[in-house]
Structure 1
């Protein structure tokens, strides 16, 4: 996947003409700040140069040098010479997503998922969820520097949050899973398109195991909203419900 090639071409024109010999460039300039006072020094010599060079080794100031030297002409002299240099380089593909400083930042705990447990509840409503379970995740740094695929996948698929140790229960009256939806939004561009970024989104409904979307290079913040609608047709079996939802950014 790290296979991007970036190239550029530049041209330099070198112009020369027969002329009397002239002094050749030999410049040495220093600048910096000592005790809050800025200083400059042009073409110093002797001990001054030694002191300034020691300052550079100590992390003080900066230096600019320009030197030029050319031998006397031989052969035929042209009044113009043009040299073209081909410049090439490679930028590696990369995708980034800041997801906190440790794994705890990625453990999304709904806490207690409320149910209707009062003795005065009608039997048709007992043990049903009292409301939706929701979560919001936001990162300020996400994106890829090449055409890419944004993917959201639920490990348990359409079952969503699953109670893996539910024991026995009447399937007409109870269920041991809680479906949920995921919606991610960011600013980006369509695949292989060069244009100004616009709002983008990728939605995975409660009835989908996952979804993908192709994008061109993008970088922006990203919001991820998770919503588990209240189960009101059946009661929930007691226990721990869990799933892993995976967001993946892949440079293509």
Structure 2
């Protein structure tokens, strides 16, 4: 039985390999009554496993046989191994709804004064033209910063449908004079329709001389905005002397 260890060195390789059974080797060999080997009898079905081990052990006890045994044991994974792990992180945050309109640095920037609104005052004017407006009164307002970051509505509201109004006109012939100057308001910007996800295009909202308010719903937009106020010349009647005032409110309101 010299071949039990072949050569002069026995190398023992220690390995850990996934999904491979742990080592459990049991070998017997002997010479009497005839040369024999018994390899891993513990793996045989019952009762052959018991008989094989008993025979091997009997040879060892009778000093006519030998035994080789190698066993290894290590605890299994604490949980089922997962070669790939996906971890999903739910990210969240909130952006507040906001509308912006740069309207100058103080209230003076928003006081639009037409100055003297010229009327025909010449002595040589025909009576049918006397005291009528010489031409239209116009104002232009523009800001480079306007818009909303959500669905919104652009609104224009006049405080009086009559337009600019002389609140203290005194007495006058209503067939020949009037104490108000109608005006229209047009706002222009670049935006998109409500709920639209597309490239911005020119948009506008107009409140005519005969209108008091208007609105237009929009998706989120940001752009320059121009506001034109035009009071067409009143030519069918003369204007009563005095101060003419009015207020127009532009509102950008998030929906």
TM-score (structure 1 length as normaliser): 0.69
**Residue of structure 1 in register with 2:151 after alignment:** 147
- 1:126: which partner in 2? 130
1:200 aligned residue (193, 203, 222): 203
Aligned twin of 1:135? 139
Partner of 1:163: 166
User: For residues 211 and 91 of structure 2, what CA distance do their matches in structure 1 show?
Assistant: 48
Aligned pair partner of 1:237 in 219, 235, 240 = 240
Match of 1:97 among 101, 122, 137: 101
Q: Aligned partners of 2:103, 2:221: CA distance in 1, in Å?
A: 17
Q: CA deviation at 1:246?
A: 0.3
Structure 1 residue runs of 5 or longer lacking an equivalent are: 1-17, 19-73
Matches within 5 A, 1:1-150: 75-76=78-79, 77-150=81-154
Mind listing any 5+ residue stretches in structure 2 that lack a counterpart? 1-17, 19-76
Q: Cα offset for 1:161?
A: 0.1
CA distance in 1, matches of 2:85, 2:195: 41
Distance 2:243 2:209 in 1: 19
Higher strand share: 1
Runs of 4+ in structure 1 deviating by more than 2 angstroms, as ranges, are 74-80
Aligned residues: 179
Name which structure has the greater RCO, CA cutoff 8 Å, separation 6+.
Answer: 1
In the alignment, the residues of structure 1 paired with residue 156 and residue 228 of structure 2 have an alpha-carbon distance, to the nearest angstrom, of 12
Q: Are 2:196 and 1:176 aligned?
A: no
Deviation at 1:78, TM superposition (A): 3.0
Q: TM-score, normalised by structure 2?
A: 0.69
Aligned-pair CA distance for 1:85: 1.0
Cα RMSD after superposing both structures: 1.2
Q: Give 1:80 shift.
A: 2.2
Structure 2 counterpart of 1:248, from 230, 246, 251: 251
